[in-house]
Structure 1
Amino acid sequence: MIELIKTIVKPLVDHPDDVTVSMDEHAKKIIYKLSVNQQDMGKVIGKQGRVAKAIRTVVYTAASKSDKKVYLEISD
């Protein structure tokens, strides 16, 4: 799942080397934390959050077979 997130985000940003994804797993949920360069935050979030929503939709759909709830957090 981490590679999927990186594959989606890296072409969108100007600083692809700064894209990092970490995973925090709990009993009933998995939280993926996406971190990008401060200058690329607008590109990842998009107008009115449309790009971020699309990324989350793809990640949630890919993780739908999992028994745990999946979340994607975007941070700078």
Structure 2
Amino acid sequence: MKITVAGVQKEVADGLTVAQLIVDENVETPQYVTVTINDEFVENGTFEQTVLKDGDNVEFLYFMGGGQ
């Protein structure tokens, strides 16, 4: 199946979970990543159960704090 990850279309296996995609994409500091699928936020505790579908658009987001 085809999905788009950070703007790049990729061919991936059927049944791929968000958790496995994070591993496959070598996401840095995965414990701090926020994931959206088709502009909808995915709950952090559900990455193992969230299965991607053909045509999904996935983004990895990092929220930074700080400043004055």
Q: How does the TM-score come out when normalised to structure 2?
A: 0.29
Q: How does the TM-score come out when normalised to structure 1?
A: 0.27
Between 1 and 2, higher relative CO (CA 8 Å, sep ≥ 6) is seen in 2
